[in-house]
Amino acid sequence: MKMQLAEIAKALDTTIEGNSDPVISSVAFDSRKLNENSLFVPLKGERDGHDFINSAIANGAVATLWEKGHPNKPGNFPLIEVDDTLAAMQELAKYYLNKVNPAVVGITGSNGKTTTKDMVAAVLSKRFNVHKTQANFNNEIGVPMTILEMKPTTEILVLEMGMDRAGQLHHLSSLVKPDVCVITMIGEAHIEFFGSRDKIADAKMEITDFLKEDGEFIYNGDEPLLRQRAEKITQVKSTFGFSDQDTIHALEFKSYMHHASFVTNSSEQKFSIPMIGKHNVSNAMAAICVGHHFGESDDEIAASLSDFTPTANRMQWRKGDVGEDIMDDIYNSNPTAAKAVLTSFGQVEVPEGGRRIAVLGDMLELGAASAELHASLADKLDPLVINEVYLYGPEMKNLEEAIKGKYVPDTLHYYPQDKMERMIDDLKNDIHSNDIVMLKASHGMHLDKVLERLL
């Protein structure tokens, strides 16, 4: 971005204290991560960003937003007073979005939204200047930051949009007014806060609340909860999935160790993605639908999907320190995602004499249903397929109880949350070069520490 401070003040319907000449080239709320000519946005969270104004100035800020009435204003420094700094940042993002005027693709879902975002951006980047959400900047802070980071030449903005409460996606949708909305699927993520999948589906559908009249709603047609709710949408609709009722559906797919291949009903084109599993084929079909919306051909889309780069810690294969292959999927977890990954992992060919070893940590934010949902993973654990299981965390005790009749003691290992070091030592002593290992847990269980020790 490139905006004079006076233009920013006008966009926020307020005035500047001090010099109005600075030209702003970036916006940041972390005082440690500013570039030269930055506008600092002090947000209030666990810490008050206003307390870090001196650090922001030292790191390149040339102006700051400031909450009206907040003490300790910086002296002789350009400042724009606003009622609420977060709301002002969101308003500035809306102004900048309208100024650049790219097409907006908004993507949400209980699982797969980050991978789908990466796939969609790869597909569209062949023809268009595309800017996408980095990492998982997908909330009321991350979405406006993503907008403000885009270049003025951006033609399509691909936004991951997350939520953990009702109303959040309604607000984000009002901010970005998407041209295309994508819902990957409905699972149990955040069910602690919603109580049922029906309510999760209602909250996910909020992404369509400000879908443009000439826009398109693309969703997983194999999810009845979405099909029911989509009936109320008057805009163009497309579905993806594995049913012949879906607009784009897979006729066949095969999953290998490092990639999956499939064909769809839309052409004879063969698609290949550098990820495994039926759920990632589903994500790829969502990206195909978006590509079609923007006029991409199947051969162009296939070329883009074949070598896209997924965000880190999502079903990435890594090489362990004794030569074992490790499936790194430690970014997050919920029952739907864990079952999908266990199924995919069970289909991966093992080197001769090797074993499949699953390391599973607690899935968080499942509320009163947590014990039952952890135990439900038992359906995807067969000792003839996944030969050894390591379970970590208090909730995984429920899964241990559910599968200890199937697994002999030497192949089933449980560790309380304060015994990570013991689990790591046991794993390192157990794993051989011809084994394959998967790691899956909610981010808060910190299996990244286990991965680091195994690499």
Binding-site sequence positions for ATP: 109-115
CA distance 27 to 61: 9
CA distance 400 to 233: 44
Tell me which DSSP letter residue 28 carries. Answer: E
Residues 6+ apart with CB under 8 A from 30: none
Coil vs helix vs strand at 235: coil
DSSP 116-143: HHHHHHHHHTTTS-EEE--TT--STTHH
Annotated binding site: 109-115
Written as six digits, the tokens of 40 are: 């600092």
- Per DSSP, which regions of 121-279 are E strands? 130-132, 156-160, 180-183, 216-220, 236-241, 248-255, 260-264, 270-273
Cα four-point dihedral sign 306, 311, 314, 316? positive
- Per DSSP, which regions of 25-138 are E strands? 26-28, 38-40, 61-67, 79-82, 103-108, 130-132
Distance of CA 270 to the CA centre of its chain: 26
